[in-house]
């Protein structure tokens, strides 16, 4: 079974060569593609070599996107065996499907079979016999099999009365592209809300064109996909679809579209919209005029229009001539990427230095490596959306991978539930007086008991994987200086701090989650010597912010960075330079009367490199530092 083996209004599968040709010729350096009205996912599938963000308000489309695009391990043999058993089923007992839909869109026997299969998929998932990817594969297979035999003309607004049920349910295995990007994201949200939380190089928009609501046309597939077993009514057996109605099918379409475009964060916007504005019956007429489309897009950037003849859908018998599918390509006016801080307060983080150092970084590079990523302050703010983040701290990388993988709602719910469970403060909700504290002395006195209980439970390691990293983040928030530190026994051992999960921290976490879920970001845990730089070429950039040899911090305690490490790193930079790969090195030449003689000698030997002195001191972020007026000579070294 292939992604295009499904009937769907407005399906762009036949237009993929046209769409791809426009993108290939007109758009440069595309690494991330967001298909925000993805439907069946046909257009998204044409960009399988990119980081994909898919979205659709219909759950029946979303669950298929998870099957086609979400990178998660699954057992092909297991799924094929389950499908084979389903195909050989003979079900004689009634269920939700047969009681509501028998001999309408499907025969009684097929309804019984559909209902049994869908219920069994859910049981297998709840019993952990299959994972979320395997569940999506099975539901997708079922939806496609239903669509193939449905007693309709392609949608579910009505069924053929006195239909002949000469086809019967037969599920097939979805042909998955195993090379899809590890970082693909699939959403099931209102597009105008989601757009505030994502970024991409190219945003593809294929909204409903006319008054035909997709939830009306595909209510039955939506019903089976969600499997909430709602009451159905009317001849067409539809459930309540109020929350699925799209404003793009109403008189508010133009205003809704303008709000969407204004909030898009991308270099290119590609809009599909046909020229049915004043053709066909009133239901077929396009809701947004060409004049409004061009006016709205031109406020965002420079607009080009491409067209190709295309047969329009019409429920009647009329043959509308001259119909064209148009692509409106908007190359957005260059906007600076919003600079955001990391969600964690990692010692040595470069957030405050970004205005000084980022102006020296190259633009339009294909591959970026943040070799000692720490809190990721630099990598997440680079112009490139494709970055490899590396750090030797396995807990740090585990935390970032969890943030990338876990749903935002789950993360915040887990945080707030455990704040309540351990009776920790939440000043954002109750204020300082509620806890008998004030802002100057902090919240440590109140939080100590709950924090120590949380730390004790965390260190027992009886926490399931998803929750483990959220609780690690919570510990960091309530710990001394919001740091990350484990002892030799592998136990988190920082004492309680003065702060809590205040509004500033909540907003930092939200922005950080949105950014790492939008970018084509990979987080790895390697010694810097093991990172594969041989795969890099002249279109690459490596940012290097190692532990500083002459300073001490939590990541550099107990000889965490030695002279041999320093020499090996500098040799690596020379290797990058010989390969014509751009690099930028952050370091310090002098601190508290100490001098990095190894670095100084290396710079003298490689005097073709440019050394930039920065105006900044880490006095406030280094808790070991007693003389806060000591001069630190922070530098940035670049080879381009």
Give how far Cα 297 sits from Cα of 12, 29, 260, 293, 330, Å: 22, 21, 11, 6, 6
Buried b / exposed e over 451-482, threshold 16 CB at 10 Å, is: beebbeebbeeeeeeebbbbbbbbbbbbbebb
Q: Are 154 and 100 in contact (CB under 8 A)?
A: no
- Residue 554 confidence (pLDDT): 53
Helix-, strand-, coil-residue percentages of the chain, each rounded to 5: 40, 15, 45
- Residue 315 confidence (pLDDT): 41
Q: What SS3 class is residue 91?
A: coil
Tell me the backbone φ, ψ of residue 186, rounded to 5 degrees: -120, 130
Q: What SS3 class is residue 51?
A: strand
Rounded CA-CA distance 41/58 in Å is 12
Rounded CA-CA distance 239/273 in Å is 29
- Residue 618 confidence (pLDDT): 46
Architecture of domain 340-392+526-640: 3-Layer(aba) Sandwich (3.40)
Rounded CA-CA distance 303/355 in Å is 32
Rounded CA-CA distance 270/256 in Å is 17
Rounded CA-CA distance 161/174 in Å is 31
Residues whose CB falls within 8 Å of the CB of residue 474, separated by 6 or more in sequence, listed in order: 415, 418, 419, 454, 501
Q: What SS3 class is residue 204?
A: strand
Radius of gyration of the chain (CA): 28
Tell me the backbone φ, ψ of residue 54, rounded to 5 degrees: -110, 150
Per residue in 98-152, pLDDT (tens digit) is 999 999 999 999 999 999 999 999 999 999 999 999 999 999 999 999 999 999 8
Q: Are 43 and 35 in contact (CB under 8 A)?
A: yes
Instruction: Compute mean pLDDT per 10 residues along the chain, 640 residues long, and list them.
Output: 93 94 95 97 97 98 98 96 98 97 96 98 98 98 97 88 88 93 96 96 95 94 98 95 95 97 97 70 74 97 87 43 81 90 88 94 91 96 92 96 96 98 97 95 97 95 84 97 91 96 97 96 95 88 94 60 95 96 95 90 96 70 44 89
Q: What does pTM read for this prediction?
A: 0.87
Tell me the backbone φ, ψ of residue 264, rounded to 5 degrees: -70, 135
Give the alpha-carbon dihedral of 92, 98, 102, 105, to 10 degrees: -120
- Residue 318 confidence (pLDDT): 41
Superfamily of domain 394-515: Adenine-specific Methyltransferase, Domain 2 (1.10.1020.10)
- Residue 617 confidence (pLDDT): 53
Domain layout of the chain by residue ranges: 13-332, 340-392+526-640, 394-515
From the number of C-beta atoms within 10 Å of its C-beta (0-12, 13-18, 19+), residue 386 rates as buried
Give the alpha-carbon dihedral of 292, 295, 301, 306, to 10 degrees: 60
Same fold, 340-392+526-640 and 394-515: no
Q: Are 22 and 306 in contact (CB under 8 A)?
A: yes
Per residue in 441-490, pLDDT (tens digit) is 999 999 999 999 999 999 987 777 789 999 999 999 999 999 999 999 99
Q: Are 213 and 287 in contact (CB under 8 A)?
A: no
Beta strand spans in 44-152 (E) = 51-55
Pick from 258, 248, 261, 133: which is nearest to 196 by CA?
Answer: 261
- List, as one string, the DSSP characters of 537-551: -TTEEEEE-PPPTT-
- Check residue 410 and give left, alpha or beta (phi > 0: left; psi -120 to 50: alpha): alpha
């Amino acid at each position: 079974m292939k992604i295009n083996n499904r009937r769907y209004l407005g399906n762009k599968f036949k237009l993929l060569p046209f769409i791809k040709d426009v993108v290939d010729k007109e758009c440069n350096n595309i690494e991330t593609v967001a298909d925000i009205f993805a439907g069946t996912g046909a257009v998204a599938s044409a960009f399988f070599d990119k980081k994909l963000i898919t979205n659709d308000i219909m759950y029946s489309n979303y669950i298929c996107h998870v099957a086609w695009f979400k990178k998660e391990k699954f057992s092909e043999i297991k799924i094929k065996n389950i499908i084979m058993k389903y195909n050989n089923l003979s079900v004689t007992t009634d269920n939700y499907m047969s009681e509501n839909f028998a001999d309408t869109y499907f025969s009684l026997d097929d309804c019984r079979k559909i209902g049994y299969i869908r219920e069994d998929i859910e049981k297998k998932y709840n019993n952990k016999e299959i994972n979320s990817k395997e569940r999506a594969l099975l539901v997708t297979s079922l939806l496609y099999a239903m669509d193939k035999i449905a007693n309709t003309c392609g949608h579910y607004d009505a069924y053929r009365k006195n239909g002949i049920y000469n086809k019967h349910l037969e599920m097939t295995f979805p042909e998955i592209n195993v090379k899809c990007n590890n970082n693909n994201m699939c959403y099931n949200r209102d597009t105008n809300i989601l757009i505030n939380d994502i970024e991409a190089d190219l945003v593809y928009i294929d909204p409903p064109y006319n008054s035909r609501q997709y939830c009306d046309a595909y209510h039955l597939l939506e019903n089976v996909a969600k499997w909430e077993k709602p009451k159905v009514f009317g001849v067409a057996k539809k459930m309540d679809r109020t929350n699925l109605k799209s404003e793009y099918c109403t008189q508010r379409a133009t205003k809704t579209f303008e709000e969407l475009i204004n909030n898009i964060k991308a270099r290119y916007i590609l809009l599909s919209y046909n020229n049915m504005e004043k053709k066909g019956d009133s239901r077929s007429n396009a809701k947004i005029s060409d004049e409004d489309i061009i006016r709205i897009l031109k406020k965002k950037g420079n607009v080009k229009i491409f067209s190709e003849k295309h047969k329009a859908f019409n429920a009647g018998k009329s043959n509308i001539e001259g119909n064209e599918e148009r692509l409106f390509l908007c190359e957005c006016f260059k906007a600076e990427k919003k600079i955001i801080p990391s969600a964690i307060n990692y010692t040595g983080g470069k957030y405050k230095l970004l205005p000084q150092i980022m102006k020296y970084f190259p633009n339009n590079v294909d591959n970026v490596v943040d070799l000692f990523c720490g809190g990721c302050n630099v990598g997440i703010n680079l112009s490139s959306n494709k970055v490899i983040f590396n750090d030797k701290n396995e807990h740090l990388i585990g935390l970032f991978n969890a943030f990338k993988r876990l749903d935002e709602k789950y993360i915040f719910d887990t945080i707030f539930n455990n704040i309540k469970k351990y009776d920790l403060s939440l000043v954002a909700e109750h204020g300082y007086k509620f806890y008998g504290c004030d802002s100057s002395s902090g919240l440590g006195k109140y939080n100590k008991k709950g924090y120590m209980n949380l730390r004790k439970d965390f260190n027992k390691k009886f926490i399931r994987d998803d929750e483990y990293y959220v609780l690690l983040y919570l510990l960091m928030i309530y710990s001394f200086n919001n740091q990350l530190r484990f002892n030799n026994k592998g136990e988190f051992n920082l004492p309680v701090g003065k702060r809590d999960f205040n509004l500033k921290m909540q907003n930092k976490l939200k922005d950080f989650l949105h950014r790492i879920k939008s970018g084509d970001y990979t987080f790895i845990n390697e010694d810097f010597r093991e990172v594969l730089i041989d795969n890099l070429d002249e279109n690459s950039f490596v940012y290097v912010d190692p532990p500083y040899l002459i300073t001490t911090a939590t990541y550099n305690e107990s000889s965490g960075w030695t002279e041999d490490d320093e020499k090996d790193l500098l040799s690596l930079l020379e290797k990058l330079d010989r390969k014509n790969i751009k690099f930028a090195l952050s370091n310090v030449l002098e601190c508290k009367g100490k001098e990095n003689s190894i670095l100084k000698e290396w710079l003298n030997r490689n005097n073709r490199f440019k050394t930039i002195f920065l105006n900044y001191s880490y006095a406030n972020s280094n808790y070991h530092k007693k003389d806060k007026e000591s001069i630190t000579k922070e530098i940035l070294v670049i080879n381009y």
